[in-house]
A = this chain, B = another copy of it.
Amino acid sequence: MAKKWVYAFSEVEAAEQAVGGKWEDVRALLGGKGANLADMTRLGVPVPPGFIVTTQACNAYQQDQRFPDGMWEEMLDHLKKVEAATGTLFGGDANPLLVSCRSGAKFSMPGMMDTVLNIGLNDQTVAAMIQLTGDERVVYDLYRRLLQMFGSVVLGIPDEPFEDAIEARKKLRKVKLDVELSAEDWKALCVTFKKLVEKEFGAPFPQDPFEQLRMAAEAVFKSWNGKRAVDYRNAAGISHTLGTAVNVQTMVFGNMGDDSATGVAFTRNPATGEKLMYGDYLINAQGEDVVAGIRNTQPIAALQKEFPVLYAEFLAICDKLERHYKDMQDVEFTIQQGKLWMLQTRSGKRTANAAVRIAVEMVNEGLITKKEALLRVTPDQVDTLLHPQFELEAAKQARKNGKLFAHGVNASPGAAVGRVYFDATTAEQKAKQEKQDVIMVRPFTRPDDVHGMLAAKGILTSEGGATSHAAVVARQFGVPCVVGAAAVKIDLERRRMQVNGTQIKEGDWISVDGTNGDVFVGNLPTVAPKLEEQHELLTLLGWADEVAGLQVWANADYPADARRARSYGAQGIGLCRTEHMFFEPERLPIVQRMILAQTSEERVEALHELLPYQQKDFEGLFKAMDGYPVIIRLIDPPLHEFLPSLEKLIEEVAEKKALKKTRGLKAKEDLLARVRAMHESNPMMGMRGVRLSIVMPEIVEMQVGAIFRAAVAMTKKGIKVKPEVMIPLVGHVNELKFIQPRLESVAKKVMDKAKVQIEYKFGTMIEIPRAALTAGEIAEVAEFFSFGTNDLTQMTYGFSRDDAEGNFLLKYVEDEILPVNPFQTIDRAGVGRLMAMAVEEGRKVRPTLEVGICGEHGGDPASIEFCASIGQNYVSCSPFRVPIARLAAAHATLKQQVN
């Protein structure tokens, strides 16, 4: 049987049969657009008739550089059928058939290939069309468009001479806009264009409609191997052997009088998701007029009054399309002389709000399953829903009025408005005592700035990248934050900052948009969504939890964080950083005393003072997490982080010495000596974590004491506590073997004394490459692993995050040396490989090993997918990202089920 090269829109079943029934293969054969038009036709939707030349024909053409045998004859045959169906004649002088000729590959390649409209117009049919429409201006406009498109697309004439001619005409007529040109003008331009074609191409414009069609179809085939298309496919990873189909379709016109119209519509409100038709139309107009906004469009509901019967038909069609495609549709339609035609349907773009509402309502309507609904919403959309935003209009106005002060890295999403303060202590004071809304501004932040950052509504820094200290802390606490706004010159001494002359003094208002990195002068209005009010989202996340193969826990240091985490649906605390508690103003002096202690007794005494504080913190955590596990990480940072900075001390001592100020000099010098002795060249890889605990076990012994005292106290109050003690920075199993038994004995003593037995675990972070490489050994001692992917990424890549992000890493991502910032999404080939090894080899030794992640990647959807794929039990992230992670976890599982 000879190959069939052409399918009518009505022949979708034949196409299905030809490829063996799979829709995917129909799309491959007919292209996406053609398959879709055929699909709509099958549904009984009124689609202007036409036919599809298959991608196979395209491939045959590419091979022989000519139409395959029989193809053209099939096309002519189908053209006849279209004439018959529409009562028109191609090239006829009464009711001429005009067609479009469009490309259409399996995968959409927007704008990459060619289209020719109004094929069939020539000097004769123009007259017939004028007769038919009674609008000379419109018809000559159509004709000159054909001349122009055919000229450039089919004959390869540059567009400029055409546009130049139009401009010349406008100049002549002393008008500015195309619409101001008359029928006469367009008629004259058609003459000019024909001359232009003949001059540039060396032959006259083909008046024969069949010749036009033949050449247009060939041009579409050729465009498949045009440079633009090839580049696009290379970039998008689309195979070059797919070929494109050619869609030949009857032209319809919404500008053929007052019984004609054209419009676009969404089957539901794309902003809110409400189930109400949403869109615009124009009477007696062309499709592009609706979009161009030259004339005032009518809301779609008005159609009901003007064309009640057609509107009912339209609603029924839309409903049918929604049911068929099981999604909200974005449709284009034209009414030509009282006849409704559907030109296109596709899934409609929507806001995050709408996405959630539509997904949930469609489940309730029985249209889609819960799993399908989950996949209809992206984690990023959930993110958007949870952070306050500036009112769009207000931001637009501010930008227009030159109030955009600076732009930086969007480090922590959300909108914040407040008064600028340039140090943590002032910021905290203004916020707490004067109840001001505060934006803390610093060149960069340090751990001892945290109290100010927590008190602030927003944070702005001029240095650092997306994972600088400021960014990490801000995300952790959900404070909107822009970092690395390099144009901002901060003058800490004069308490002001400026960008190109615009100056902001301490106390002035600014507005910080952590979602997109914008910083505005002044006070912009915001809208602030709340999770508990977002019922559809809550429903969706509930479904996510049912589906997800791994849990979502949260990183929380304080009881308030833990409560928020629970309210956002976290099923555990994956990381409580105990040292943050040490930075609280009332505790820091005790901590410093402990560090500077000359004897073990002095140290233990200071630790005794700290113990009740820590115990209280833990009690609050356990209470908030009643029945859920709480992983508490023992002290991790190097001790010098709790002391004044070396640089500051050097400066102070040099100053005192230069001025011969002996008062207090000795004490400062002593302190400097101590700080210098503790100074490290690379503190990230120095004396911290378990290393510190081995050299100075008193601190962690105190911490474990506090954990178990808290656990005992809460247990006695009827609360179910599940403490898990996490030992950080382990690189060799012997470190665990050294410290863990000591700590377990502290725990045991507390429990024995209280006669209370508590279910607990001891485990470790996997954040040193060597720990991952020897996970089998480490799992012999550790009962759980938690991937500290921040440090693991730092060490696997040899990137110091603090240094890299403000420096070469941005360039790396910009230049695509790295496909993605590895501190945002797990690098699967390197870091991920270590993680996969660790899970596999750890579980081989201890099948019940609990495995999670507590690095920032725990809140990143792509990373969550990876975590699911290697069989982790949970991911842990900032409380604010818990909802996002819950959805991402569900997605991960659903995608695994597909694969």
Contacts and interface: CB of A to CB of B under 8 A. Distances in A.
A336 B802 CA distance: 81
Interface stretch (A5-13, A571-579, A662-670, A828-836): A828-836
A685 interface: yes
A586 interface: no
Nearest to A791: B798
A685 B808 contact: no
Nearest to A681: B802
A807 B658 CA distance: 33
A300 interface: no
Contact of A686 (B651, B800, B833): B800
Interface in A661-704: 680-687, 691-692, 694-695
A803 B681 contact: yes
Contact of A831 (B681, B729, B770): B770
A871 to B, nearest CB: 20
Contacts of A650: 647, 650-651, 654
A232 interface: no
A804 interface: yes
A807 B688 CA distance: 11
Given A685-B794, A827-B770, A830-B773, A680 B816 contact: no
A799 interface: yes
Nearest to A734: B817
Contacts of A683: 681-682, 800, 803
A687 B796 contact: no
A829 B684 contact: no
Contact of A795 (B646, B795, B827): B795
Contacts of A236: none
Interface string A634-672: 000000000000110011101101110000000000000
A796 B808 contact: no
B732 A818 contact: yes
Query: How many monomers of this chain does the complex have?
Result: 2
Contacts of A855: none
Nearest to A776: B829
A680 B731 contact: no
Interface string A804-823: 10011001100111100000
B768 A798 contact: yes
Given A647-B650, A651-B654, A658-B659, A816 B773 contact: no
B654 A685 contact: no
A777 interface: yes
Contacts of A185: none
Nearest to A463: B677
Interface residues on A, range: 35 or more
Interface in A75-89: none
A592 interface: no
Given A682-B802, A732-B817, A817-B732, A770 B797 contact: yes
Interface string A568-609: 000000000000000000000000000000000000000000
Name which of A659, A777, A799 has the most chain B CB atoms within 10 A of its CB: A799
Contacts of A795: 685, 769, 795-796, 798
A325 interface: no
Contacts of A347: none
A558 B815 CA distance: 36
Contacts of A780: none
Contacts of A687: 803-804, 807-808
Contacts of A684: 681-682, 685, 798, 800
A60 B531 CA distance: 78
Contacts of A695: 807-808, 811
A738 interface: yes
A799 to B, nearest CB: 6
Name which of A651, A683, A816 has the most chain B CB atoms within 10 A of its CB: A651
A735 interface: yes
Contact of A655 (B655, B773, B777, B796): B655
Name which of A683, A731, A767, A834 has the most chain B CB atoms within 10 A of its CB: A731
Contacts of A152: none
Given A658-B658, A815-B738, A816-B734, A834 B773 contact: yes
A768 B796 CA distance: 7
A731 B798 CA distance: 8
Interface string A767-786: 11110011001000000000
A196 B261 CA distance: 127
A654 B818 CA distance: 41
A682 B775 CA distance: 26
Interface string A289-327: 000000000000000000000000000000000000000
Interface in A89-107: none
Interface in A813-870: 815-818, 827, 829-831, 833-834
A758 to B, nearest CB: 29
Contacts of A831: 770
B829 A777 contact: yes
A787 to B, nearest CB: 14
B646 A654 contact: no
B769 A796 contact: yes
A360 B685 CA distance: 48
Contacts of A646: 647
B658 A773 contact: no
A652 B799 CA distance: 31
A539 to B, nearest CB: 42
A671 to B, nearest CB: 15
Contacts of A815: 694, 738
A791 B796 CA distance: 11
A98 to B, nearest CB: 51
Nearest to A817: B734
Name which of A682, A691, A812 has the most chain B CB atoms within 10 A of its CB: A682
A829 B654 contact: no
B686 A830 contact: no
A811 B681 CA distance: 19
Contact of A654 (B658, B798, B811, B830): B658
A827 to B, nearest CB: 7
A816 B681 CA distance: 25
A651 B676 CA distance: 14
A621 to B, nearest CB: 28
A824 to B, nearest CB: 15
Contacts of A803: 680-683, 685-687
Contacts of A799: 685, 731
A811 B769 contact: no
Contacts of A680: 800, 802-803
A817 B735 contact: yes
B694 A811 contact: yes
Contacts of A767: 798
A683 B694 CA distance: 26
A489 to B, nearest CB: 13
Contacts of A808: 687, 691-692, 694-695
Name which of A768, A770, A807, A834 has the most chain B CB atoms within 10 A of its CB: A770
A800 B685 contact: yes
Contact of A681 (B647, B768, B800): B800
A738 B817 contact: yes
A101 to B, nearest CB: 42
A686 B681 CA distance: 12
Interface in A609-646: 646
Nearest to A794: B685
A695 B799 CA distance: 15
A703 to B, nearest CB: 19
Interface in A745-773: 767-770, 773
A146 B650 CA distance: 74
Given A647-B650, A794-B685, A830 B770 contact: yes
9 contacts: A680-B802, A683-B800, A686-B800, A687-B803, A692-B808, A695-B808, A729-B798, A732-B817, A795-B795
Given A654-B658, A684-B685, A773-B829, 13 more contacts: A680-B803, A681-B682, A682-B683, A682-B684, A682-B803, A685-B798, A694-B815, A695-B811, A731-B797, A734-B816, A767-B798, A769-B795, A769-B834
Shortest 4 CB-CB contacts between residues of A and residues of B: A682-B800, A770-B830, A685-B800, A658-B658
